Structure 1
Amino acid sequence: MGSEKTLSNKDNLEVLYEDNHIIVVNKRPGDIVQGDKTGDKPLSEVVKSFLKEKYNKPGNVYLGVVHRLDRPTSGIVLFSKTSKALPRLNKLFQNKDAQKTYWAVVKNEPPKQKDSLIHFLKRNPKQNKSYAHIKEVPDSKKAILHYELIKKLDNYYLFKIDLETGRHHQIRSQLSAIGCPIKGDLKYGFDRSNKDASIHLHARELKFQHPVKNIPVHVIAPPPSDPIWDACV
């Protein structure tokens, strides 16, 4: 099943796929998936408003958050529209049966064209940052990703990344550990921020079995439009 893209005028919501049980949207950098201490309107509430208006629903709209993306990151976010689908989707992600592919733009050439990275990430909640260690340290979690250099730009390099584990700031921390911090990511060693406070990390592709229909779903999200991303597509 391919992606079906529609653009809602309301709140600039880009819907990539929707049926009775699930809705997949393309998150803009800067949007938060769930509410936090900033008090900014989260993407989950934007999607609820969209569904309420589209289907003229009275009362509250049910929406389950299946997974999250960091605020400065863009790309695919999957929500559940039914209480039947949510636990099945949660199980799918817990069992690593959902295949997630990311794109990342970095300044430095990687040590290898293609590699698997294994680190032990230790999270520092006060700094909201994860530190990558080669060997296991107390309170660390094993993190595995596979990257491939898929395009050389004038001043940057485009990586395709397949995640095997889903740790806090995993891609950002692991790429930084090999000397390839993501464009705009000051927290993980890039030399300057992007003007819109985004980072060039994008959840590009998602493949999974539909939780109710049991058919394959494959969604691809176009990256945000800027000169660097436009050169990647």
Structure 2
Amino acid sequence: MTQYAAPRTRPASQRRPRSRDGSSWRVPTALLALTIIPLVAGSLRLLEIAGGPQLLPTNPRIDASPVPLVLHVVAAAVYAVVGAFQFPARIRRAHRAWHRRAGRVLIGAGLVVAGSGLWMTLFYPGAPGGDLLWTARLVAGSAIATSIVLGFTAIRRRDIDAHRAWMIRAYALTVAAGTQVFTQGIGEGLFGTTDLSTGLSVSSGWVINAAVAEWAIHRPRARRTRRARVATAGS
């Protein structure tokens, strides 16, 4: 009988890792897609403030005091777009210097987003959503600023895991405007445009993004734990 030799396999240490370049762009692409509608709306509002055509509904609060909105839109655009490329590990490892420089810019932009959001909440009278949304905006703005400060102090003491967790939380809350496009549209479509329905639907956008952030923070840790258990069991 003819004997067939079993195919030779390389040791695990000599195998070439499969390319994952495509996966490095999935997270930034998804985040940019989430924020595209708020970014376009904000750009149209800036165009209107600069004297361009009015393409969005009139907002007398903005007409009376446009400065905080301008700061909010510009800072949020920088934070959303640049921040989207901070999360993939492959990009961070390949461009460490850029990651650090961009991080410094994002800290400033994120604090401007939070500060201008709080400014508008406190000093723009008669905003829709009632006391519920007013309170939710105060909580969200304060949480963004706190998360950024804690993320900065964490990286100063070289606590990478804590830095990553706090920056994910800050980014998730900041880009909740993209999620709120859907939650507000669905909520007002089902329950009308009362202060209660608006407050609940907009607030749910922050809640959803906060929940996704916590999942993203803890999910990789669970995977590493499972891998370590499998390796220990096989040794």
Shorter-chain TM range is under 0.3
Q: Tell which structure's C-alpha radius of gyration is larger.
A: 2
Length-normalised TM-score, structure 2: 0.22
**Which structure has more RCO (C-alpha within 8 Å, separation ≥ 6)?**
1
Write 1 or 2 for the structure with the bigger share of helix: 2
| Structure with the largest fraction of strand | 1
